[in-house]
Amino acid sequence: MTNFKRTLVTTALPYANGPVHIGHLAGVYVPADIYVRYLRLKGEDVLLIGGSDEHGVPITLKARNEGVTPQDIVDKYHGIIKKSFEDFGISFDIYSRTSNETHFETASGFFKTLYDKGEFIEKESEQYYDEEAGQFLADRYITGTCPHCHKEGAYGDQCESCGTSLNATDLIQPKSTISGSIPVRKATKHWYLPLDKHESFLRQWILEDHKEWKSNVYGQCKSWIDLGLQPRAVSRDLNWGVPVPVEGAEGKVLYVWFDAPIGYISATRELTPDWEKYWKDPETRLLHFIGKDNIVFHCIVFPSMLKAEGSYNLPDNVPANEFLNLEGDKISTSRNWAVWLHEYLTEFKDKQDVLRYVLTANAPETKDNDFTWKDFQARNNNELVAILGNFVNRSLVLTQKYYEGVVPTPGPFDTFDTETLNSIGTFVDKTEEALKNFKFREAIKEAMNLARLGNKYLADTEPWKLIKTDAERVKTIMYISLQITANLAILMEPFLPFSAQKLRTMLNMGQVDWQQCGQKEVLKPGHTIHEASLLFQKIEDAEIQEQLDKLQQSKKDNQAAAKTATPAKENITFDEFTKMDIRTGTILEAEKVAKTKKLLQLKIDTGMDQRTVVSGIAEFFQPEDLIGRQVSIMVNLAPRKIKGIESQGMILMAEDADGKLVFVSPASPVKNGSEIK
């Protein structure tokens, strides 16, 4: 590995349309903060960069819904997010935002450079345009009927009902959410970053030169590259974002995915005039801490941008984490299934370190993990309180009791003393080794082992007994206990900064650095320490129950929301209704369409003929169970080829709240071909 002189750590920019939750913290910010605090303690030159991602369509939509400006939205959430990070001790050198001036300048300059170098391709395409509002419509600004599940109110990019991702042009009866008018298709010009052009470079750089990346990251990249990379639009028609800085681009802004990672650069520029040293000097190590949803951007897209620009470093590693679930379910902002950081701190005041600890000890490093309140309580009570807090307390209380807070002068060390003192260094080394490899779960475990060592040492030497018979020996024992305690005060700093600081205050330690860590004498004999207070408090069952009840309430609210039917569609005339020819029919044959997940190929006796229908119901029915079943079929729907099979009609299904499909059939058997009207 190259010997780097300094490190630049970036953390994924949280999207400023909502607060941050434990998933963000566990996946990105806590590990990044631990890593950076560790390097700082070692005296290394390191920067931790963060900021809010404030552009993009969802923010404009939210603003519209709430009747405020997009700036109002991002101001609000940027404030909340920034404060949450401060409160949890995420030690950013700068936490910036993409709506500020430096960023506009940086992003726009970056685009201009690539533009001038001819790194983009220009393409014209047809997009929906709202004539009343006089603007192009982003996919999210269009609603209509989902072509798949036929639910109304699907967005142009995704149907929230069936979860399918869509193209706006596929929506049935599209409608602009801005003016309510029916949008028209209109040609528009955009710039694209030809990722395919960078494929051979990416192959070499990732698949050959960075085999050491985490397996989830490496595999994901390989998957994307092998699937074939496509040119990606870097601009779009929108009025919220960084304007495209070329002529003829009025009403166009940089696509949010393009401007967001440039936010890392902008923030660094804002922080220091020396920013280029951190971004362009090959002796700087660039690290991106992100969640797994961001792997493709940070390993493929952003590096391609940097490479195309030419003067920037590429990331040396991208330690992406998987996702954190909450009590067995995916964390979801819209379903309010989350533990919000700003709420946590009002309910568990001053317990930042507890959450940091639990999220680190149970971090989703290799696979998705589950956060449960019961585990949270257990780790607090059985580990932080019982092992770490208790050892520190024992050590300090005994010192006060026997020596009024003065570190005693030790006598000769016996074998066990020496072994114990040596072990301190061993645990420190193991912690450090894990940290270097981004194995934070293992690192915090090894750090805790130092506290275990302390407890064992006290249990084995029993100073409270010896004090009556061999007071001299007790001095040595307490001296060693205090050295372990002092080491903990340093070793825990990256993980539990608040508690470590509190401990250092108790120990009257002052400034520390990593070099002291692992040493046998951190506190000199004669040094006076302060009164002890508890580092951690037990968490009672009632507090945990309160949190569980709160989540239960979210679940109830969601179920209630799911029960309300979607509003009726616009009226149609009787003539329009009679155009639809719906009949009863019987399924004669059914088989799964090869190489698909959802498709069944059905042969239906419609009374008039036997015809083939392809239907997306395979997830809910076994083909053999369908034979002989009577169904409703729309017979005059224009035929369409699906997976090479011509589908002549459509089976009518009802969709339940959970997305399950149910046949709409005659209540008792009728002649095939009977009209449904």
Nearer to RNA, 46 or 320 (CB): 320
CA dihedral 155, 159, 160, 161 (to 10 degrees): 130
Nearest distance from residue 109's CB to RNA, in Å? 30
Structural contact between residues 603 and 631, judged by C-beta atoms closer than 8 angstroms: no
Q: 517 exposed, middle or buried (CB, 10 Å; 0-12, 13-18, 19+)?
A: buried
Summarize the chain as % helix, strand, coil (round to 5): 45, 20, 35
Of the pair 222, 579, the CB lying nearest RNA is at 222
**Which residue lies nearer to RNA by CB, 106 or 461?**
461
Annotated ligand binding at 162? The verdict is yes
As measured in angstroms, the least distance from the Cβ of 215 to RNA is 4
3-class DSSP string for 549-601: HHHHHHHHHHHHHHHCCCCCCCCCCHHHHHCCCEEEEEEEEEEECCCCCCCEE
159 SS3 class = coil
Identity of the residue, 223 or 515, whose beta carbon is nearer to RNA in the bound complex: 223
Closest approach, Cβ 175 to RNA, in A, equals 17
Does 146 show up as a binding residue in the annotation?
yes
CA angle 84-85-89, nearest 5°? 120
CB of 384 to RNA, least distance (A): 8
Integer Cα distance of 164 and 616 in angstroms: 12
Instruction: Pick the closer one to RNA by CB: 10 or 220.
Output: 220
Q: What are phi and psi of 466, to 5 degrees?
A: -60, -25
Minimum distance from residue 139 beta carbon to RNA (Å): 14
Instruction: State yes or no: 517 annotated in a binding site.
Output: no
DSSP secondary structure of 475-507: HHHHHHHHHHHHHHHHHTTTT-HHHHHHHHHHT
Residues 6+ apart with CB under 8 A from 89: 33, 352, 356, 497, 498
Q: Which two tokens stand for residue 394?
A: 């024992």
What is the Cα 551 distance to its own chain's centre? Answer: 20
Closer to RNA by Cβ: residue 204 or 239: 204
Q: Are 352 and 498 in contact (CB under 8 A)?
A: yes
Residue 166 phi/psi, 5-degree rounding, is -125, 165
Which residue, 81 or 602, is less far from RNA as judged by CB?
602
Tokens of 671: 């002649």
Query: Roughly what angle, to the nearest 10 degrees, separates helices 415-436 and 440-461?
Result: 170
Q: Is 149 annotated as a binding residue?
A: yes
Mark 271-283 as b/e (b = at least 16 C-beta within 10 Å): beeebebbbeeee
Taking the complex as a whole, the smallest distance from the CB of residue 395 to RNA amounts, in Å, to 8
Q: Tell the smallest beta-carbon distance from residue 97 to RNA (Å).
A: 26
Residue 299 in marked binding region: no
SS3 529: coil
Instruction: Report the distance separating Cα 333 and Cα 18, nearest Å.
Output: 8
Least distance in Å: CB of 374 to RNA?
9
Residue 8 or residue 166: which is nearer to RNA going by CB?
Answer: 166
Q: Any idea what DSSP says for residue 158?
A: B
Pick the closer one to RNA by CB: 490 or 503.
Answer: 503
- In 55-125, which ranges are continuous DSSP H helix? 57-66, 70-87, 101-116
Q: Token pair of 133, please? A: 């509002």
Select 212 or 546, whichever has its Cβ closest to RNA: 212
Which residues line the annotated binding site for Zn(2+)? 146, 149, 159, 162
Which residues line the annotated binding site? 146, 149, 159, 162, 333
Which residues line the annotated binding site for ATP? 333
